[in-house]
Structure 1
Amino acid sequence: MMFWYDHDVSGWGWFGMSVGMVLFWALVITALVLVFRAANRPHDHTPTPTPTPTPTPTPPTPEQILGERFARGEINEEEYQRRLNALRPGPLAKS
């Protein structure tokens, strides 16, 4: 006689259901972890801080240029003193 209503699960059936349940929950937990990580990742569109402008160097004064030329030996001491007196304000010094 056939047992039409005998739907008992054999040993392999229990094993298959157990593995399937473990895989199902592993998949659900993995999906939740990936969604959580993606939500907490810093966005690629974060504004970058604007660099502070570098101060423009001030051009050297005529007296500094004259001192550099004297230091390099382009002019002698007499020429340096004469030109330095011409640059400085005040009464003209006679050489």
Structure 2
Amino acid sequence: MHYYDGSFGGMHLIWWIIWVIFIAWIFFIPADIPYQKSKKESPLDILKKRFAKGEISKEDYEESKKILNADFTKNLNS
């Protein structure tokens, strides 16, 4: 390939830098972009959904919620 006496050599370097930044941006973008990755649900969120769907009774929901809240509080204190 023929370069015209080096007058555009700096521009070639700038384009390489732009491409490297662009490719790095694609791989390191934040995970909270919509439709990028599914958000991990907490156990309490799953429990609420199961109760809303009618998969578990109110008593099961309340008991499980107490257990989850106790575990969460225990983990915060330790």
Q: TM-score range by the shorter chain?
A: 0.3 to 0.5
Q: TM-score, normalised by structure 2?
A: 0.46
Structure index of larger Rg: 1
Greater percentage in helix = 2
Q: TM-score, normalised by structure 1?
A: 0.39
Whose relative contact order is higher, 1 or 2, with alpha carbons under 8 Å and at least 6 apart?
Answer: 2
